[in-house]
Structure 1
Amino acid sequence: MIKIYHNPRCKKSRAGLEYLQSKVKDFEIVKYLNDTPSIKELKEIIAKTGKKPGDFIRKQEEHFKRNMKGKELSDDQVLEEMVSNPKIIERPIIVHDDKAVLGNPPEEIDKIL
């Protein structure tokens, strides 16, 4: 089952959702601001991308600028920040089986379909 971690208020996330809808019909939408993944879930998702937790942080968000910028944080500390402040999670994230991508630009989604 394909999952998209989505923020309906974000233009880029909506573009990713529309692109995914144009490609497949059966997938699950996770509105991650309301249904925030656990640290364990985020670790699993990020591991499927081959990237690090810091690659999934929205560096323009105020929380990042005030609390994280310029600090040497471990991956676990970054994950804790992501769970306690999900607005800083980059979006959309699309997961399909053992692969995941950041759907920005939307064409990145093709890599896991």
Structure 2
Amino acid sequence: MIQIYHNSRCGKSRNCLLLIKESQKEHEVIYYLENGPTFDELFTLIRKLDFEPISLVRQKEKIWIENFKNKQMTNDEIIQAMVTYPILIERPIVIIGDKAIIGRELDSVIDFI
């Protein structure tokens, strides 16, 4: 089953979700802003993405700039910041099994799903 971390206010996320729906493959929408991931869930997701935690952070978000920019942070502290402020999580994220991608480029999503 395909899972998508989705923000309905984001155009890229809406387009990605539409593509997944049109594929008619079984999928689950995760509204991560309303029901944010736990530390362990986010840690697992980052492993599936094969990223460093900082690569998943939306570093232009006001919350990041005001609270975290230019601070030396451990990976665990970065993950905790995203748990505390889910708006910091890059989107959309498409997950299939033990692999995941950032779904901002629809061609990448087509290849992935």
Whether the TM-score (by the shorter chain) exceeds 0.5 is: yes
Report % sequence identity: 35
8 Å CA contact retained: 1:99, 1:112: no
Query: What's the offset of the Cα at 1:111?
Result: 4.2
Q: What is the alpha-carbon distance in structure 1 between the residues aligned to residue 13 and residue 82 of structure 2? A: 17
Q: What is the alpha-carbon distance in structure 2 between the residues aligned to residue 85 and residue 70 of structure 1? A: 17
Q: What is the alpha-carbon distance in structure 1 between the residues aligned to residue 31 and residue 99 of structure 2? A: 19
Q: 1:86 to 1:107 in 2, by over 3 A?
A: same
| Aligned pairs (5 A) from 1:53-68 | 53-68=53-68
| Aligned pairs (5 A) from 1:1-113 | 1-113=1-113
Aligned length: 113
8 Å CA contact retained: 2:58, 2:64: yes
Moved over 4 A (4+): none
CA RMSD of aligned residues (A): 1.2
Query: What's the offset of the Cα at 1:24?
Result: 3.6
Query: What's the offset of the Cα at 1:54?
Result: 0.8
Gapped regions of structure 2 (runs ≥ 5): none
